[in-house]
Structure 1
């Protein structure tokens, strides 16, 4: 052994709230075996309280959270574990912080019509992010730049189609099935 890090893959499923990040990321984890994490679970209680109250987070609220996410990916990389993480990652600067974790991060931007996403948000139960914050998220969203590793997918597709497109377009390895499944 040369002491080199084992190759890992780190995928961030990004987009505004209600785009389907969690559903797609969980599907990617199931198909590939990448370790899943939900960025919302990394928010401190003060951030959650602000969002529940309909108050958008500002950059000062986000920086420590983003650094924690980058550190989580870096720690998994050090263990030789590939990851798939949900994170809004709305601004280039936020994605830059995430890229400070493992050596390479790929993004899957779930994008689509505001009306469709708002309708999905209103159907969700037990989520602290109100549909009223969708417009503030869309206002600050910066699409992936040409030099950022990633893909953009239209959210109108089925979750299974979005998972399959991600796995294919990013060339992610599929989990080896056991028992002929």
Structure 2
């Protein structure tokens, strides 16, 4: 599959399906999938595991690592990264630092669905108690951003098809 966009960020709060969608999309596109949680410093993971919300100071070094991964995308191999990218400034930084045209995909689910998912995910360090802190800083995408918002709770396959349709439409636009 040939797509013009080589860098994709699946964004949103913990439990919205970033990793599931990212893995499924990578299977179909042949892009590398990078779990953004794996790019956190051990100190960040320890804080979140203890139920302590990250600060901007905690997040910036992580965002630098995410941007570096996005910057590695090229014609031979695209990359998909799961990254909360909760604030406009974070998304803007990723666009600038990576030097890539990035498509952000935002699975926007009802908070009740997210909380239920997190309760059934005991092997992850992110406790459900931190959802409120993420919601508090979440800045919904602006109309001028390149963000595909997936509303509701479609299946993973439906979400992949929506993303592929959007990417195909981008590829067909004149440059």
What's the TM-score once normalised by structure 1's chain length? 0.87
Q: What is the aligned counterpart of 1:130 among 127, 131, 146? A: 127
How far apart, CA to CA, are the structure 1 residues paired with 2:130 and 2:149? 22
Q: What's the CA shift for 1:101?
A: 0.2
Q: What's the CA shift for 1:163?
A: 1.2
Look up the match of 2:173: none
Look up the match of 2:38: 41
Structure 2 matches for 1:24-173, cutoff 5 A?
Answer: 24-77=21-74, 80-99=76-95, 100-171=97-168
Contact 2:31 2:78 in 1 (8 A): yes
Paired residues in the alignment total 166
- What is the SS of the residue equivalent to 2:107? strand
Contact 1:13 1:86 in 2 (8 A): yes
How far apart, CA to CA, are the structure 2 residues paired with 1:125 and 1:80? 37
- What is the SS of the residue equivalent to 2:72? helix
Q: What's the CA shift for 1:155?
A: 4.5
Q: Which has the larger radius of gyration?
A: 1
- What is the SS of the residue equivalent to 1:136? helix
Root mean square deviation of aligned Cα: 1.6
Contact 2:10 2:82 in 1 (8 A): yes
Q: What is the aligned counterpart of 1:20 among 13, 17, 37? A: 17
What's the TM-score once normalised by structure 2's chain length? 0.90
Q: What's the CA shift for 1:19?
A: 0.1
CA 1:147–1:102 in structure 2 vs 1: closer, same or farther (change >3 Å)?
same
How far apart, CA to CA, are the structure 2 residues paired with 1:8 and 1:140? 28
List alignment gaps of at least 5 residues for structure 1. Answer: 1-6, 174-181
- What is the SS of the residue equivalent to 1:76? coil
List alignment gaps of at least 5 residues for structure 2. Answer: 171-175
CA 1:44–1:116 in structure 2 vs 1: closer, same or farther (change >3 Å)?
same
Q: What's the CA shift for 1:140?
A: 0.7
- What is the SS of the residue equivalent to 2:33? strand
Contact 1:153 1:162 in 2 (8 A): yes
